[in-house]
C-alpha cells in the first residue's frame, strides 16, 4: 500500500461526526437549545430574532472546518471568525454559554464521547480566542 492510499483512508472529523446529516443535526440542536434554555440567554441575545441564517452559517463553517465540503468559504471567502464577531461583546460568560450549549447538543445527538472531548478542546480554544470584552 502506498502513502497516497493511506492518506485517502484517513478519517476526517467530518467523517467521525457522521457527515452532513449528523453535522446538521448537531447544529440544529445547538440552536434549538440556545433558543429554548434560559441558561443560554446571553448568547441568544447576540443573535437575530430568527436563527435560520445563523444555523446555516455555523453548519457551513463546521463542514469545511471538520474536513468536509468548504461550504462557507465557497459562499463568503475566508471565515475571519474573530473579525466577524468583533461587533458582539464576548466575555468569558458568553464563551462558557456557547461551550455548554454545544456540549449539551453533542450529548443529545449521541456523539461518541471521545469525539465530544476532541471537539470541545478545539471549540474551547476558538471560543476563548473570540473573547473581546473584559469580564
What does the pLDDT read at residue 2? 46
Per-residue confidence (pLDDT) for residue 10, from 0 to 100: 85
Please tell me the pTM assigned to this model.
0.90
Is residue 123 a contact partner of residue 79, using CB atoms and an 8 Å limit? no
CA gap 115, 117 in Å, rounded: 5
For the chain, what are the domain ranges? Answer: 16-129
Is-contact 51 33, C-beta < 8 A?
no
Q: In sequence order, what DSSP letters do the residues of 58-115 get, joined into one string?
A: HHHHHHHHTTS--HHHHHHSS--HHHHHTTS---HHHHHHHHHHHHHHHHHTT--HHH
User: In tens digits, what is the pLDDT along the chain, a chain of 135 residues?
Assistant: 444 544 556 899 999 999 999 999 999 999 999 999 999 999 999 999 999 999 999 999 999 999 999 999 999 999 999 999 999 999 999 999 999 999 999 999 999 999 999 999 999 999 999 999 999
Superfamily in which the 16-129 domain is placed by CATH: Globins (1.10.490.10)
**Helix, strand, coil percentages for the chain (3-state, nearest 5):** 70, 0, 30
Q: What is the pLDDT of residue 9?
A: 66
> Is 35 in contact with 51 (CB distance < 8 Å)?
yes
Amino acid at each position: 500500500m502506498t502513502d497516497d492510499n493511506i492518506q485517502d483512508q484517513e478519517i476526517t472529523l467530518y467523517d467521525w461526526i457522521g457527515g452532513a446529516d449528523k453535522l446538521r443535526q448537531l447544529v440544529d440542536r445547538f440552536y434549538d437549545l440556545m433558543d429554548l434554555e434560559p441558561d443560554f440567554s446571553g448568547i441568544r441575545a447576540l443573535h437575530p430574532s430568527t436563527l435560520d441564517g445563523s444555523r446555516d452559517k455555523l453548519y457551513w463553517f463546521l463542514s469545511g472546518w471538520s474536513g468536509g465540503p468548504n461550504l462557507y468559504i465557497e459562499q463568503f471567502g475566508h471565515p475571519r471568525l474573530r473579525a466577524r464577531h468583533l461587533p458582539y461583546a464576548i466575555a468569558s460568560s458568553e464563551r462558557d454559554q456557547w461551550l455548554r450549549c454545544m456540549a449539551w447538543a453533542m450529548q443529545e445527538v449521541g456523539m461518541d464521547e471521545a469525539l465530544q472531548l476532541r471537539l470541545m478542546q478545539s471549540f474551547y480554544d476558538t471560543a476563548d480566542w473570540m473573547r473581546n470584552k473584559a469580564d
